[in-house]
Amino acid sequence: MSFTAPRRELRPFIQAIWIFESPTGLPAADGAMATPNGCCKLTFAFGDAFVSIANGKATVRPPDRLNFVGVRDSSIVLQSGPRSIGCIGIEFVPHGAFPVLGIPMRETFNELGDADAVLGGWAREVEGALNDLQDVSQKVAYLQEQLIRLRRKNQDGPLLGKRERPNALVAYCVQTLQAAGGRMPIRELAERTGYSSRYLNTLFEEQVGLSPKVLAGIFRFQRFYRRWAEGRSFDLFRHELYDYYYDQSHFTKEFIKMTGYPPRKFTRQVRNEFGRRLAVG
């Protein structure tokens, strides 16, 4: 897996651009998994088809299609055959997709499928052009160029003022929650901003796709998941659990929700090199 830096115009909105390629597909025993990180994604797979399993439902995703993955509160497991497979992924920061794509994010929560279902003709046009390009780096460059154009179009539209000012508030809230590792009570966040918790919930559902409370829970989980991805044992930071969770049972419940596994079973039985590389960048 390799990473490409977003262009300057996209840096406030995109967390990562990655390219995954394997001549033999995803190892069946690897447990390839994308865990919730508060980000929605655009992906473009090439080579062989792959299967995505989300909320107990398996869906075959054909190659050469532009896909949209909405912000999630549960993991996606990926499987493929033994043939060559590749995928480009563009991950938006939690508040970044709304000003670029210009769609209400509440309608995309836990969505997974063809991008044209949420982005219409823009997605179909981009998908067609991607299939005409042979080189992966050209595909990445084209995707970035089209996202920049879409951002400019939405920025210059009649809803400029209505979109930009609230999005700055959401960006501040997201960054504050992330810096606190998700430990900040939403009541305190509301007091810091001078807005009510209800108003923040409404903004987050429109511009992020989930509430500040759910996003804070994802940030708490990601703190521990990233440490696993870096090769650190949970035993090294067991004493920190009570700074982030009520007790061990609370942590286990949240971990199962995010991964489908209890923490100890996950660390002992799941390799997930795909997810590990995503997490550490």
Whichever domain contains 66, its CATH number is: 2.60.120.10
Instruction: Determine, yes or no, domain membership for 18.
Output: yes
What does the pLDDT look like over 175-206, one tens digit per residue? 999 999 999 999 999 999 999 999 999 999 99
Please report whether residue 8 resides in a domain: yes
Residue 126 falls inside a structural domain: yes
Closest to 227 in 3D by CA, of 216, 236, 218, 217: 236
> How many secondary structure helices (H) and strands (E) does the chain include?
11, 10
Residue 278 within a domain: no
Long-range contacts of 4-13 (CB under 8 A, 24+ apart): 4/140, 6/144, 7/144, 7/148, 9/148, 9/151, 10/100, 10/144, 10/147, 10/148, 10/151, 12/93, 12/96, 12/171, 13/92, 13/93, 13/96, 13/97, 13/99, 13/100, 13/151
Q: What is the pLDDT of residues 70-105, one digit of tens each?
A: 999 999 988 888 899 999 999 999 999 999 998 989
Residue 162 lies in a domain: no
Q: Is the residue at 32 inside a domain?
A: yes
Could you give the C-alpha distances from 229 to 31, 235, 250, 270, 273, in angstroms and in order?
Answer: 14, 14, 21, 11, 8
Query: Which structural domain range is residue 65 located in?
Result: 2-155
Distance of CA 95 to the CA centre of its chain: 11
What pLDDT, on the 0 to 100 scale, is given for residue 160?
45
Q: pLDDT at position 2, please?
A: 93
- Name the domain count of the chain: 1
Where the chain has pLDDT below 50, the residues are: 159-161
pLDDT number for residue 157: 59
pLDDT of residue 280: 75
